[in-house]
Amino acid sequence: MIKSSLPIYLASKSPRRRRLLKQLNLKFKSFSVETGEKVKRNESPQDAVIRIAQEKMQYALRKIEKGIVITADTLVFLDNKVLGKPKDELDAFRMLKKLSGRTHQVFSAYCIHNTVTKKTITEYVKTDVTFRKLTEGEILDYIKTGSPMDKAGAYGIQDDFGAVFVDRINGCYYNVVGLPLSRFYHALLRII
């Protein structure tokens, strides 16, 4: 278990990230930060996800005087185009239809900052996710649950019906959930 003499803060409103940190038996407090989370024109997926995690850190550090601060972001890309959180049910349907039978990339970046040492670690991980062919009925039934509405790419791999859409992954499963746990854990050890 990671022990820190400094308080640990997760600057994220994601219930999935909170759950992942609890898996590590971390004692932490959480709060949310609001940023644009927009991918810039011609920005690579890795540059975008790192920049957004770093922007979240800038906002988070305005709220914290002393501690270890964690921010993160996850983006879904298909054909080098970002699939963010759906605006509405029609948008969710469109995204899931595009993902059907195809492989897409999930990029997650985290930024960890120690306010005492001023050390910051920012890293990203990419995972390839392949969906099986989905029927329109499956997509509509999933959308009715409301689950896709707060998730990049309009699906969750971890704890709902969206898991059965995934045929295979190449890379870190937890990265798709929202935080690549093994890499993150080792980065946290280096910063505490």
Q: Does some domain include residue 17?
A: yes
Q: Does some domain include residue 110?
A: yes
Annotated catalytic sites, by residue?
Answer: 73
Q: Does some domain include residue 156?
A: yes
DSSP line for 37-93 = -PPPTT--HHHHHHHHHHHHHHHHTTT-SSSEEEEEEEEEEETTEEE-S-SSHHHHH
Q: Does some domain include residue 1?
A: no
Tally of structural domains, the chain: 1
Domain of residue 46: give its range: 8-191
- Express each pLDDT in 63-74 by its tens digit: 999 999 999 999
Q: Does some domain include residue 2?
A: no
pLDDT in the model for residue 159: 65
Q: Does some domain include residue 126?
A: yes
pLDDT in the model for residue 48: 94
Give the CATH number for residue 159. Answer: 3.90.950.10
Q: Does some domain include residue 56?
A: yes
pLDDT-based confidence at residue 180 (cuts at 50, 70, 90): very high
pLDDT in the model for residue 143: 94
Q: Does some domain include residue 112?
A: yes
Taking CA 105 as the corner, what is the angle to CA 75 and CA 12, rounded to the nearest 5 degrees?
25
* This prediction's pTM: 0.92
